[in-house]
């Protein structure tokens, strides 16, 4: 089985052309071309995604900057960091638990690039604090996978609803 990835802006253009979805023209008019949002595979990228779970982009960026400034963006450093050190930087108790779980897991990040999507998602979701959304975002951004989409993302759901002119869901 061939693993398809998006590696360049040309890959994005080809994919959009192959999808042939007229509603996407609305997105291009409003937002411009789809950016290539790739990150290097590895601990730091996955940790950064965990930091971004359920917080604003600005908050996640501020916390990540403090982690980097404190030298706590590397796996070995996070594994040895105390709860207090991570809390001072702004991580919540659950995020500290997730950071420690991730940093103490021996993932072969290079091997993930060779595995099928389902295997990647399965391996990542076995780690405390990494759910399907986090695993899918990692597969998209770090591995460039074409057949993975974080369908549980509320912002993407709302954007899709607007683009395809769907009614608002009834919330109780």
Q: What is the pTM for the complete model shown?
A: 0.88
- Does one domain contain both 32 and 115? no
- 146, 65 contact by CB (below 8 A): no
**How many domains is the chain built from?**
2
Q: 90-137, pLDDT tens digit by residue?
A: 999 999 999 999 999 999 999 999 999 999 999 999 999 999 999 999
- Does one domain contain both 51 and 133? yes
In the three-class reduction of DSSP (H, G, I as helix; E, B as strand; rest coil), residue 5 is classed as strand
Number of C-beta neighbours around residue 76 at 10 A: 9
- Does one domain contain both 51 and 121? yes
Q: 19-56, pLDDT tens digit by residue?
A: 888 887 777 778 888 788 899 999 999 999 999 998 99
């Amino acid at each position: 089985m061939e693993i398809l990835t998006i590696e360049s802006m040309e890959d994005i253009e080809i994919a959009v052309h192959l999808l042939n979805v007229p509603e996407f023209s609305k997105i291009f008019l409003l937002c411009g071309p789809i950016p290539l949002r790739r990150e290097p595979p590895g601990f730091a990228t996955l940790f950064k995604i965990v930091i971004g779970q359920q917080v604003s982009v600005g908050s996640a960026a501020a916390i990540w900057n403090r982690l980097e400034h404190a030298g706590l963006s590397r796996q070995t450093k996070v594994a040895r960091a105390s709860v207090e050190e991570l809390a001072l930087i702004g991580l919540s108790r659950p995020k500290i638990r997730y950071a420690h779980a991730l940093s103490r897991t021996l993932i072969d990040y290079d091997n993930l690039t060779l595995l099928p999507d389902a295997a990647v998602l399965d391996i990542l979701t076995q780690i405390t604090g990494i759910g399907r959304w986090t695993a899918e975002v990692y597969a998209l951004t770090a591995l460039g996978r074409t057949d993975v989409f974080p369908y549980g993302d509320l912002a993407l759901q709302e954007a899709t609803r607007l683009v395809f002119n769907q009614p608002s869901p009834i919330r109780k």
